[in-house]
């Protein structure tokens, strides 16, 4: 398949913003793709070579190296490339322009010599893989040679795409949701196939593989997909609420109430004596927790199993549970055995997803919990999450207070009716989180994505001081602005902002960003931060859920404050616009219920 088909589609995708147009363009591309290479096409349009969780090497070509590559491929000096990048603010564009000029010369050359190699999807993909796999001594030169070779054979549009891909700029470009919609159109006969594709993706976390099974074997094969040990399952997520009575009503009356531990989510896969641990973002974090792997090996009595739980740090002197931040010590690459001793952890298991050939995600929670308890041998550091079963709001509140007093964040309320399956990759009311108040009117923090930035004034002049933050709208697959946040940053956070944002800065608003205000610079929607504020408000200048609650107004946050970065979250894991609508409505109810000042 000629690579130019893909490059042209990507080029046209840059110009459209309506979701339906994006889906149509992608669907056209998929129609022209031979089924055996649909996985490669899906990876390339998503800006990756393989799913991140596979832990395969990254391309490892810095901006500086790319400038060298472009200069070699286009026969110009590096300073010429640098100048062009300065003018356009965009390496991909610079490569396109230079290739355009170079092409005129080359076509004269080929006219007389007759040599021109057409790039194919497979040849480009395979060369990119070779670039990523070049490691160790001499790899820098090899990477340069391979990349320059690719660019030499590329047309201007192809060069733009390849450069953006190598830079990592395409990662935020097209969402998985849009790709799945297009796959449903082409291979599934329309939107009815969408949930089947989504479920397969949630169980396999590999959209390329799912597309290939769909294209080659058809929808029926996708329906039969089961979890597999070693392949991470996208985690089930919870809605939030703060009224015990309503929480129980939403859960169906009676529910399982579990401690909500404040640690790191862990999906533990065990096969024989091999353990792999995946994070909330599906990263392989086994090396950070050799002690957890050991505990799982000795205390889970099953040959093939996938369980989920929370890893929590504790004080080795008092045994008290410590907050999530303490786990940061485990992030180091070397000498992990030293940190393991100084920062010990406990594991609290809360779910069973797969056991000896059987898919447990489709079973109700009580069945999952009963089977989990049967296979786990509890120790002081490895146990099943504490829980009660109740339909009484007062009992729920009491258990909540008990959880807080034991160092937890609150409780997780889980529906136990017959349809209480494990909804991989979905946020729903089967699980409801009820968290400690952050001593603010806003009951909970939200996770928002940076989409723009503003320069500071005075002491911070010339440096970023304020960020434009957005919520995710999964229906539109867009990021909608919510607020500008300029407070809550420590000086060291602000000092690091420059470098943190640099790789994601762009001259124009990203096509997946819906904003009405102008930022000083636009930023690719990649970085997620946790934000708290005084309250939610309606604002005419923000686009989050615009028009849903009031014509011409979106949802915003008054006095927003930065709390921390959330590197464990992907942009699509940010708080959704719909969640903010619900939070706003609950806030209204709370205000309505509050006694008026002066009343008895």
Span interacting with ligand ATP, options 137-145, 258-266, 373-381, 521-529, rule CB under 6 A? 258-266
Reported as type and span, the H/E element at residue 558 is strand 554-558
Shortest separation between residue 405's beta carbon and ligand ATP, angstroms: 16
The C-alpha atoms of residue 554 and residue 559 are separated, in whole angstroms, by 16
With 0-12 / 13-18 / 19 or more C-beta atoms within 10 angstroms meaning exposed / middle / buried, residue 131 is: buried
Q: Are 66 and 91 in contact (CB under 8 A)?
A: yes
Span interacting with ligand ATP, options 124-132, 170-178, 252-260, 289-297, rule CB under 6 A? 252-260
One character per residue 116-145, x = contact with ligand ATP (rule: CB under 6 A) = ------------------------------
572 binds ligand ATP (CB under 6 A): no
238 binds ligand ATP (CB under 6 A): yes
Reported as type and span, the H/E element at residue 564 is strand 561-565
Shortest separation between residue 239's beta carbon and ligand ATP, angstroms: 8
412 binds ligand ATP (CB under 6 A): yes
The residue count for the chain: 600
169 binds ligand ATP (CB under 6 A): no
Shortest separation between residue 167's beta carbon and ligand ATP, angstroms: 28
**Residue 522: which region, alpha, beta or left (left: phi > 0; alpha: psi -120 to 50)?**
beta
CA distances from 206 to 11, 231, 430, 562, 566 (A): 25, 9, 25, 33, 23
* Strand, coil or helix: 204: helix
Question: What is the CA 517 to chain-centroid distance, rounded?
Answer: 25
Span interacting with ligand ATP, options 38-46, 259-267, 510-518, 540-548, rule CB under 6 A? 259-267
Q: Are 265 and 308 in contact (CB under 8 A)?
A: yes
* Interacting residues of 388 by C-beta distance below 8 A, sequence separation 6+: 256, 257, 395, 399
281 binds ligand ATP (CB under 6 A): no
* Strand, coil or helix: 309: strand
Among 4, 40, 143, 280, binds ligand ATP (CB under 6 A): 280
| CB closer to ligand ATP, 57 vs 407 | 407
| CB closer to ligand ATP, 167 vs 409 | 409
* Strand, coil or helix: 444: coil
The C-alpha atoms of residue 553 and residue 547 are separated, in whole angstroms, by 6
Span interacting with ligand ATP, options 114-122, 134-142, 150-158, 257-265, rule CB under 6 A? 257-265
Shortest separation between residue 321's beta carbon and ligand ATP, angstroms: 11
| CB closer to ligand ATP, 8 vs 367 | 367
Among 43, 261, 422, 464, binds ligand ATP (CB under 6 A): 261
Shortest separation between residue 68's beta carbon and ligand ATP, angstroms: 40
| CB closer to ligand ATP, 167 vs 264 | 264
| CB closer to ligand ATP, 235 vs 465 | 235
| Biggest CA pair distance of the chain | 96
388 binds ligand ATP (CB under 6 A): no
* Interacting residues of 31 by C-beta distance below 8 A, sequence separation 6+: 186
258 binds ligand ATP (CB under 6 A): yes
Q: Which of 460, 451, 542, 457 is nearest to 501 (CA)?
A: 451
260 binds ligand ATP (CB under 6 A): yes
* Candidates 260, 363, 546, 569; catalytic one: 260
Span 27-86, contacts to ligand ATP by CB under 6 A: none
Span interacting with ligand ATP, options 138-146, 254-262, 367-375, 493-501, rule CB under 6 A? 254-262
Span 204-233, contacts to ligand ATP by CB under 6 A: none
Span 504-563, contacts to ligand ATP by CB under 6 A: none
The C-alpha atoms of residue 297 and residue 313 are separated, in whole angstroms, by 20
Q: 8 is written with which tokens?
A: 């042209």
Task: Indicate if the alpha-carbon torsion angle 529, 533, 537, 540 is positive or negative.
Answer: negative
Task: Indicate if the alpha-carbon torsion angle 582, 584, 586, 592 is positive or negative.
Answer: negative
One character per residue 433-452, x = contact with ligand ATP (rule: CB under 6 A) = x-------------x-----
93 binds ligand ATP (CB under 6 A): no
Q: 215 is written with which tokens?
A: 């294209």
* Strand, coil or helix: 314: strand
The C-alpha atoms of residue 205 and residue 276 are separated, in whole angstroms, by 15
Is there a catalytic annotation at residue 433? no
310 binds ligand ATP (CB under 6 A): yes
Shortest separation between residue 322's beta carbon and ligand ATP, angstroms: 14
The C-alpha atoms of residue 62 and residue 68 are separated, in whole angstroms, by 10
Span 390-409, contacts to ligand ATP by CB under 6 A: 409
Total residues contacting ligand ATP by CB under 6 A comes to: 16
Shortest separation between residue 392's beta carbon and ligand ATP, angstroms: 19
Q: What is the DSSP string of 386-431?
A: PEEEES-HHHHHHHHHHHHHTT--EEEEEE-STT----TT-EEEEE
Q: Are 300 and 354 in contact (CB under 8 A)?
A: no
Span interacting with ligand ATP, options 67-75, 253-261, 362-370, 576-584, rule CB under 6 A? 253-261
271 binds ligand ATP (CB under 6 A): no
Shortest separation between residue 386's beta carbon and ligand ATP, angstroms: 9
Shortest separation between residue 473's beta carbon and ligand ATP, angstroms: 16
Among 265, 329, 417, 460, binds ligand ATP (CB under 6 A): 265
Q: 155 is written with which tokens?
A: 């047309």
* Interacting residues of 551 by C-beta distance below 8 A, sequence separation 6+: none
Residues forming the site for ligand ATP (CB under 6 A): 237-238, 258-261, 265, 280, 310, 350, 385, 409, 412, 433, 447, 573
Q: Which residues have a catalytic role annotated? A: 260
């Amino acid at each position: 398949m000629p690579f130019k088909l893909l490059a042209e589609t990507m080029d046209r995708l840059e110009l459209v913003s309506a979701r339906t147009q994006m889906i149509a363009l992608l669907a056209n591309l998929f129609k022209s793709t031979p089924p055996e290479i649909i996985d490669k096409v899906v990876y390339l349009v998503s800006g990756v070579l393989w799913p991140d969780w596979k832990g395969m090497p990254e391309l490892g070509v810095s901006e500086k190296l790319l400038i060298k590559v472009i200069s070699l491929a286009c026969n110009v000096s590096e300073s010429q490339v640098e100048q062009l990048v300065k003018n356009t603010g965009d390496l991909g564009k610079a490569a396109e322009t230079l290739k355009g000029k170079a092409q005129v010369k080359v076509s004269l050359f080929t006219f007389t010599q007759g040599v021109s190699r057409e790039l194919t999807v497979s040849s480009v993909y395979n060369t990119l893989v070779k670039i990523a796999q070049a490691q160790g001594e001499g790899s820098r030169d090899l990477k340069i040679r391979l990349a320059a070779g690719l660019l030499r054979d590329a047309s201007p549009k192809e060069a733009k795409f390849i450069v953006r891909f190598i830079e990592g700029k395409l990662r935020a470009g097209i969402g998985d949701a849009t790709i799945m919609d297009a796959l449903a159109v082409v291979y599934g006969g329309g939107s009815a196939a969408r949930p089947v594709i989504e479920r397969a993706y949630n169980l396999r976390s590999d959209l390329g593989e799912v597309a290939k099974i769909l294209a080659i074997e058809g929808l029926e094969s996708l329906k039969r997909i089961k979890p597999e040990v070693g392949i991470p399952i996208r985690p089930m997520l919870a809605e939030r609420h703060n009224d015990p009575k309503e929480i129980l009503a939403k859960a169906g009356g009676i529910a399982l109430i579990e401690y909500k531990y404040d640690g790191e989510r862990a999906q533990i896969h065990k096969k024989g004596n091999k353990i792999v641990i995946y994070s909330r973002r599906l990263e392989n974090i086994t090396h950070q927790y050799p002690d957890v792997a050991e505990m799982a090996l000795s205390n889970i009595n099953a040959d093939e199993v996938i369980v989920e739980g929370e890893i929590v740090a504790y004080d080795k002197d008092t045994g008290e549970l410590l907050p999530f931040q303490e786990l940061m010590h485990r992030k180091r690459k070397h000498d992990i055995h030293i940190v393991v001793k100084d920062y010990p952890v406990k594991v609290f298991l809360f779910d069973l997803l797969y056991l000896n050939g059987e898919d447990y995600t489709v079973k109700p929670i009580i069945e999952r919990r009963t089977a989990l308890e049967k296979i786990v041998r509890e120790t002081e550091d490895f146990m099943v999450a504490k829980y009660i079963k109740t339909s009484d709001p007062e009992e729920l509140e009491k258990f909540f207070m008990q959880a807080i007093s034991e160092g937890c964040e609150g409780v997780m309320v889980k529906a136990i009716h017959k349809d209480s399956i494990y909804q991989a990759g979905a946020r729903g009311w089967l699980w409801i989180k009820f968290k400690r108040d952050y001593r603010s009117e806003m009951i909970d923090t939200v996770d928002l994505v940076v989409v723009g930035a503003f320069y500071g004034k005075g002491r911070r002049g010339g440096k970023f001081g304020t960020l434009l933050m957005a919520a995710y709208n999964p229906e539109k697959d867009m990021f909608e602005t919510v607020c500008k946040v300029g407070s809550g940053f420590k000086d060291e956070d602000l000092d690091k902002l420059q470098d943190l944002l640099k790789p994601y800065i762009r001259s124009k608003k990203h096509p997946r960003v819906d904003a009405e205000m102008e930022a000083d610079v636009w930023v690719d929607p990649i970085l997620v931060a946790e934000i708290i504020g005084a309250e939610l408000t309606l604002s005419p200048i923000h686009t989050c859920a615009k028009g849903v609650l009031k014509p011409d107004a979106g949802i915003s946050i008054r006095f927003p404050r930065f709390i921390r970065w959330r590197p464990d979250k992907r942009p699509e894991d940010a708080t959704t616009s719909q969640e903010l609508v619900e939070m706003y409505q609950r806030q209204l109810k709370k205000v309505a219920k509050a006694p008026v000042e002066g009343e008895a």
